[in-house]
Amino acid sequence: MGELDGRVALITGASRGIGAAIARRFAAEGARVALTARTLDAHPTLPGSLHETIASIEAHGGRAFAVQADLADPQQRAEIVEQSTRAFGPIDILVNNAAAAFYLPFDRTSDKRYRIAFEVNVHAAWDLAQRVLPSMRARGGGWILDISSATSRHPQGPPWSDFDRTSTLYGATKAALERITTGLAAALHPIGVRVNSMAPVGAVMTEGAEALGVVPREAIAEAESLEAMAEAALALCTAPPDLTGRITLCSPLLEELDRPVRSLDGRRTLPGPRADQA
């Protein structure tokens, strides 16, 4: 039996990268996974789509369902939960992974980008948590995982790097998300819902990160594998009641729990959490 047999997981931003990896790993453990992203079919410039993620899951015997949606739109967020619930039943696990990542100087950041960043990275996570809460409450528990970023940490200077000067908006949204994580953990602990945040130590070299080309060399040196991120996500979404309210980092969490990294299909144990080890 898998660790998630009988569970339903909703994962945002699952057309590629971290979200797709988590979806594949959860499906390998028996979850029925509802996936959402804007990219349903092939993207014009980036590899990965919801259909490709589903095909990979189904090729290994898993079950998946896709809802194409823009998380910046509150009405579409409501439809994500409604359609996922109709397809697979009440949501047991919510993974808020999708993010709008803009790396621009303060004086070149438009009001539109500012609004979208907070809508997708903060408001959507809050909204989706509210929408899945009734079913979690009725079922006596659940798990919410917010995928954060090393950019939430305050930059140290002077001097500051170019990355410090351009990651302000993205980092601010992730810092807000982490504060929501701990607040929801406190609020929902009495009803058995575990809420945690997890981020890579440095970076994860996903298709999106490579396309942006903004990851600093020191972060690349600490890059963690997609497999490690998916394994840490699985650990937090099967966590006991006392593992909640944590703002965690991928590798340190796996080391703390003495949990090995496994391949996304769950069939092999991999050497380690870093991208150059997996």
Catalytic residues: 170
β-bridge mates for residue 146, sequence order: 96, 197
**195-219 as b/e, with b when 16 or more CB fall inside 10 Å?**
bbbbbbbbbbbbbbbeeeebbeeeb
Residue entry with tokens 């990965």: 48
Using alpha carbons, select from 128, 123, 246, 245 the residue that is nearest to residue 187.
245
Please state the φ and ψ torsions of residue 114, each to the nearest 5 degrees: -60, -45
* Pair 224, 202: CB distance under 8 Å: yes
List the strands of the sheet with 193-199, edge to edge.
Answer: 63-68, 32-37, 8-12, 93-96, 142-147, 193-199, 247-249
Torsion angle of the four alpha carbons 102, 107, 112, 113, in this order, in degrees rounded to the nearest 10: 10
**Cβ–Cβ contacts within 10 Å for residue 157, how many?**
9
Amino acid at 113: R
